[in-house]
Structure 1
Amino acid sequence: MKPTHVTLRQIGNSQGIVIPKPLLAQVGLIDESAVEISVENGTLVLRKPRRAVREGWAEAARAIAERGEDALVMGEFGNEGDDTEIVW
């Protein structure tokens, strides 16, 4: 495939590019709202996410709770000066 030239543009404090629709179509990213981006061997790589963000988190949390392993790790603690009972 022939390289396509795009221009880096200022976007807030970052820089970005507009990716032409035909390129997105070639890799199947037209209807995607999220992509993975990484640097591999000095090259920026965009790809479809391997799985959805937070996929499986609810099931994992449920399994942890069922095993009774969902107790607070740090326990309860107060702030300095909280040695008297707070009245609301």
Structure 2
Amino acid sequence: MRSAVRKMGNSSGVIIPKPFLVEIGSKSGDEVEILVENGRIVITPVRSQPRAGWAEDAKRLAEEGDDASVWPDFPNEADIDLKW
């Protein structure tokens, strides 16, 4: 497939057809990494870590005092007999 490099503000760009984005598992607005390898422009989707930022969020919630359990306790009847 051929496409043209287009002027976009002070930069230039190429429209990426939707089937190409689908093939790499990306969509409009996703973050990508762009680099040049052997005279070619390579665009790679950035895969975020599923739990990225959880530790910072948990710390912030604790500092705000908003880290109480929202689920009630569901003890078992035999819990009283457990020896730890």
Q: TM-score, normalised by structure 2?
A: 0.52
1:24 aligned residue: 21
Amino acid at match of 1:29: S
Aligned-partner Cα distance in 2 for 1:31–1:10? 19
RMSD: 2.3
C-alpha distance in 2 between matches for 1:11 and 1:39: 20
Judged with a 3 Å threshold, the aligned counterparts in structure 2 of structure 1 residues 26 and 40 are, in CA distance, closer, same or farther, namely same
CA shift for structure 1 position 30? 2.1
Asked if 1 retains the 8 angstrom alpha-carbon contact of 2:34 and 2:42, the reply is yes
TM-score of the superposed pair, with normalisation by structure 1: 0.50
* Distance (Å, rounded) in 1 between the aligned partners of 2:3 and 2:21: 14
Spell out structure 1 runs of 4+ moving beyond 6 A: none
Output aligned runs, 1:44-59, within 5 Å: 44-51=41-48
Where does structure 1 lack aligned partners over 5 or more consecutive residues? 60-88
Count of aligned positions: 54
Q: Which has the larger radius of gyration?
A: 2
Identity %: 43
List runs of 5+ in structure 2 lacking aligned partners: 57-84
The amino acid across from 1:11 in the alignment is M
> Residue 10 of structure 2 corresponds to which residue in structure 1?
13
Question: 2:34 matched to which residue of 1?
Answer: 37
